[in-house]
């Protein structure tokens, strides 16, 4: 019986194609995220936003906030931001340069008499109006090489989403995100999220706002998946001050088959004087131009953890 089970399992794994494997993996991530959220929900306790402020501002003093207010006591934070910026700059230079310099210095790899523009030219991909529109395999359509032929799709894609999340205890958040990108592979995204904390009976509520804005580059694009990297800035705002920091982001969307969409995102950077980490994974379905999704959202500011189950709607335009 054991040998038979192993044989059946082996055949099943062999038959399962890559999109189904990715979809199954992301489903497991969503389940794992929910379980983790339930196990760690006690982290969210009254007054946690004060701990987040301390992580960002190094003690909570409004005069020492890193944001737009200059100060003479933050050379270490400035050095940290400079180091992070240098690292991110080096990563982007390596990614976007494509190693092209060797073509100009080594004739062995580049011979104009052999290669022609027509032979190395790849037409840019185009976008469907929304995922799976008119039978598209995803949202990206291949380019057309024949000159004068009808080119389906369009040269850009946009989406706006609104989501709500809760830890089912004292903290909830809601917010929106805009993402625009073109067939040149470049894009832009911006997010604004409002966090609200119930401080307990008779103590009222506390609020902080988090956001980011990033310049994106589509590093990998296929008919059924899009991978983007980007750099930008984070911001942390409350009634006292606004603090900023650098951000590095990685985003991916998967389109295994109609109507499913799976998405993931990782942000790594700084907020004022503290480290910032953000992880989000969702699974959803398309209905015309609307995308309904649910998943798990996790953020860490210094040593402060904010997490919850997320629900949302996205419209493609």
| Lowest-confidence pick of 24-28, 29-33, 70-74, 267-271 | 70-74
Tens of pLDDT, residue by residue over 296-316, are 999 999 999 999 999 999 999
| Res. 256 pLDDT band, cuts 50 70 90 | very high
Find the radius of gyration of the CA atoms of the chain. 23
Residues 138, 139, 144, 148, CA torsion sign: positive
Q: What is the pLDDT of residue 71?
A: 41
The per-residue pLDDT for range 176-227, each reduced to its tens digit, is 999 999 999 999 999 999 999 999 898 999 999 999 999 999 999 999 999 9
For residues 255 and 148, which has the higher predicted lDDT (pLDDT)?
255
Angle at 284 between CA 280 and CA 289, to 5 degrees: 115
Has residue 61 got a pLDDT over 80?
no
CA distance 239 to 9: 57
Which helix (H) or strand (E) is 270 found in, with range? strand 260-271
Q: Please name the fold of domain 22-99+127-144+152-316.
A: Lipocalin (2.40.128)
Which of 32-46, 81-95, 201-215, 234-248 shows the lowest per-residue confidence on average (mean pLDDT)? 32-46
Residue 18 has pLDDT above 60, yes or no: no
Tell me the two tokens of residue 230: 């980007």
pLDDT band at 140; cut points 50, 70, 90 = very high
Q: Contact, 289 vs 262, CB < 8 A?
A: no
In this prediction, residue 42 carries a pLDDT of: 42
Domain boundaries, the chain: 22-99+127-144+152-316
Judged against a pLDDT cut of 70, whether residue 21 lies above it is answered with no
- Sorted by sequence, the CB contacts under 8 Å of residue 85 that are 6+ apart come out as 246
Half-sphere exposure of 282 (CA within 13 A, CB side): 26
Mean pLDDT of 141-153: 70
In degrees and rounded to multiples of 5, residue 169 shows phi and psi of -135, -90
pLDDT band at 87 (very low <50, low <70, confident <90, very high): low
- Scan for tokens 């003093």, then name that residue: 61
Phi and psi at 66, nearest 5°, equal: -80, -15
Q: Is the pLDDT of residue 276 over 60?
A: yes
What pLDDT score was predicted for residue 157?
Answer: 97
Task: Read off the pLDDT of each residue in 29-35 and give the average, rounded to a whole number.
Answer: 58
Q: Is 50 a residue whose pLDDT tops 70?
A: yes
- CA-to-CA distance for 267 and 161, rounded, in angstroms? 18
Q: Considering the chain, what percentage of its residues have pLDDT values greater than 70? A: 62
Consecutive H or E run containing 69: none
Residue 148, SS3 per DSSP = coil
For the ranges 26-30, 90-94, 290-294, the maximum mean pLDDT occurs at 290-294
Q: What phi and psi values does residue 29 have, to the nearest 5 degrees?
A: -65, -40
Q: What is the pLDDT of residue 47?
A: 80
pLDDT at 259 over 60: yes
Q: Per-residue b/e over 36-64, b at no fewer than 16 CB within 10 Å?
A: ebeeebebbeeebbebbbbbbbbeeeeeb
């Amino acid at each position: 019986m054991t040998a038979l089970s192993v044989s059946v399992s082996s055949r099943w794994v062999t038959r399962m194609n890559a999109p189904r494997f990715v979809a199954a993996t992301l489903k497991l991530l969503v389940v794992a995220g929910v379980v983790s959220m339930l196990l760690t929900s006690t982290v969210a306790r009254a007054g946690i936003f004060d701990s987040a402020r301390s992580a960002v501002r190094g003690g909570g003093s409004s005069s020492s906030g890193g944001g737009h207010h200059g100060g003479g006591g933050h050379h270490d934070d400035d050095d940290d931001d400079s180091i992070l910026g240098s690292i991110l700059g080096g990563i982007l230079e390596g990614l976007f340069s494509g190693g092209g310099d060797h073509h100009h210095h080594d004739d062995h790899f580049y011979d104009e008499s052999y290669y022609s523009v027509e032979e190395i030219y790849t037409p840019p991909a185009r976008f469907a109006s929304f995922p799976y529109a008119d039978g598209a395999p995803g949202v990206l359509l291949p380019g057309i090489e024949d000159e004068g032929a009808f080119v389906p799709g369009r040269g850009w894609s946009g989406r706006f989403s609104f989501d709500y999340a809760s830890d089912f205890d004292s903290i909830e958040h809601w917010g929106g995100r805009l993402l625009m990108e073109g067939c040149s592979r470049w894009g832009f995204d911006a997010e604004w999220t409002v966090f609200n904390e119930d401080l307990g009976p008779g103590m009222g509520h506390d609020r902080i706002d988090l956001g980011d804005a990033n310049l994106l580059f589509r590093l990998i694009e296929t008919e059924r998946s899009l991978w983007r990297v980007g750099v930008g800035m984070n911001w942390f705002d409350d009634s006292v001050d606004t603090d900023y920091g650098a951000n590095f982001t990685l985003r991916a969307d998967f389109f295994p088959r109609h109507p499913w969409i799976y998405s993931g995102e990782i942000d790594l950077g700084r907020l004022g004087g503290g480290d910032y980490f953000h992880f989000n994974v969702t699974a959803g379905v398309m209905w015309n131009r609307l995308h309904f999704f649910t998943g798990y959202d996790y953020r860490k500011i210094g040593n402060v953890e904010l997490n919850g189950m997320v629900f949302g709607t996205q419209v493609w335009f």
